[in-house]
Structure 1
Amino acid sequence: MKITLLSVTLTMVLLMDVHADVKPQRNFDVKRFAGRWYRVGLAYNSAAFAQHRNKLAVCMGVVEPKSNGDVVMTVWRTKSSFLCQKEVYKYEKTSVPGVFTYFSTRHGRMKDVTVVETNYSEFALIHKHRKFHREFTQVSLYSRTQKLRPEVIEKFKRYALQHGFPEESIIIPPLTDNCPHARH
């Protein structure tokens, strides 16, 4: 019994350490993070992702902090040349500023969302993953505008590569005008 309990404990400690190198923005301020953001970069480590990479375009979201520290993220995505899809996510605050959890209906699991780095006025690096399972880990580059300086895009690519994402999974999607709701 001791060996089984010891091996279970060791496994849990190792699993908890999988994302120990993912640190949130120091002194994260959710009020400064509020407002419109465009997802202008994406890296996803799921093998199934590669077949969808040509379907992606820049999408827009609005971050709305709540008085309890939670965040509502409304996202508009172009699904086809005629369809604009709106999705609403509720990110629940954790005890660590800049780290949130949310329930992914697509994957049926809780996920962590960490604001790794932001200067609030130009860009943000977001690390999203399913707890204890790296299959659905993703890194996003958010921008206050639809275009970013090349230096910031390179920073995003370096971050993704340093966290084990293959180069072919790092995408800078094309701009889109096909989502009228996103042009607010």
Structure 2
Amino acid sequence: MQKLGGREGGGGRRRRRDEGGQESAGYKEPPRSFFTSHPTEIPHTAAGAKNTKAERNMSNSLLKMMGTLMCVLAACAQVVPVKDFNLEKMAGKWFIVGFATNAQWFVNHKAGMKVGTAIFAPTTEGDLDLSYANLNADGSCWRMTHLAHKTETPGRFTFHSQVWNNDNDMRIVEVQYEEYALIHTIKTKEGVSEVLNKLYSRTQVASDSQRETFTKFSEETGILTDNIVILPENAECPAV
């Protein structure tokens, strides 16, 4: 389980500007040639035959990859929140100690990422006010806020990022309220979805069992092993 983003809310809700940006968009439309079929006129030479075979193999590989991705996303759509979710017990400060996603923005920046904080504040309407902060290496502070709206399913929330223009389907799939929480989010932009898993802890250091749970769940939701990261400790941003 980063970004400029404003607090998203319905009509009449107060809004607040987010600062900084840890996530880049990470969503790029594939080049048009990706969807273009190969020419039908192929030279009848040995080299041409080899090229044709190579092209067929490449096409088959791409189809398998796309099929695998579709299966993974279909499986993720079935991920359900924890039973008997208690919104009030989620309140307070959490440390984001684990991050897992195959999104390109994460692959590009994961080496420099460190533990950040998140404040969860339930609203009277049953929504969840989210405030994130990370202390950068230069001493500056990155911040982001969202208002996650409740759904008919307890433990499942949705919000739209106006800056990155993506829809977020967030599910709290496992939680020990005084220890850790495992949160699974499906981010969708222009019909393309990516999975993001985060490991939250009440302390900056996750236990071995929490790490194992996070790693296993991330692999089951299609995250490559190299893209499942336990973040190093970090100083905190000053309170605002």
Partners in 2 of 1:77 and 1:180 — Cα distance?
10
How many residue pairs end up in the alignment?
Answer: 168
Task: Indicate the percent of aligned positions where both proteins have the same amino acid.
Answer: 29
| CA distance 1:31–1:40, shift in 2 (3 Å) | same
Distance apart, 1:48 and its partner CA: 3.5
Letter of the structure 2 residue corresponding to residue 125 of structure 1: L
- Of the three residues 86, 89, 104, the one matched with 2:143 is 86
Note the residue ranges of structure 1 that are not aligned, 5 or more in a row.
1-13
> SS of the residue aligned with 2:89?
helix
State the SS of the aligned residue for 1:180.
Answer: coil
Q: Partners of 2:106 and 2:206 in 1: how far apart?
A: 24
* Deviation for aligned residue 1:93: 0.4
8 Å CA contact 2:81–2:171 kept in 1: the answer is yes
**1:115 pairs with one of 172, 184, 208:** 172
Partner letter of residue 138 of structure 1? Answer: L
Distance 2:203 2:148 in 1: 23
Of Structure 1 and Structure 2, which has the larger fraction of its residues in strand?
1
Preserved contact between residue 76 and residue 181 of structure 1 (Cα < 8 Å): no
After TM superposition, list the pairs within 5 Å mapping 1:26-175 onto structure 2.
26-131=83-188, 133-134=192-193, 136-175=194-233
Give the aligned partner of residue 238 of structure 2: 180
Range 15-24 or range 32-41, more displaced: 15-24
Alignment of 1:8-27 (within 5 A): 17-27=74-84
Structure 2, unmatched stretches of 5+, are 1-70
CA separation of 1:99 and 1:81: change in aligned 2, threshold 3 A: same
Q: CA deviation at 1:46?
A: 1.0
The runs of at least 4 consecutive aligned structure 1 residues that moved more than 4 Å come to 14-18
Q: TM-score, normalised by structure 1?
A: 0.84
Task: Mark the structure with the bigger radius of gyration.
Answer: 2
Deviation string for 1:49-101 (max 9, x for gaps)?
21101121100011000010111011111233211122111100011000000
RMSD over equivalenced CA pairs, Å: 2.0
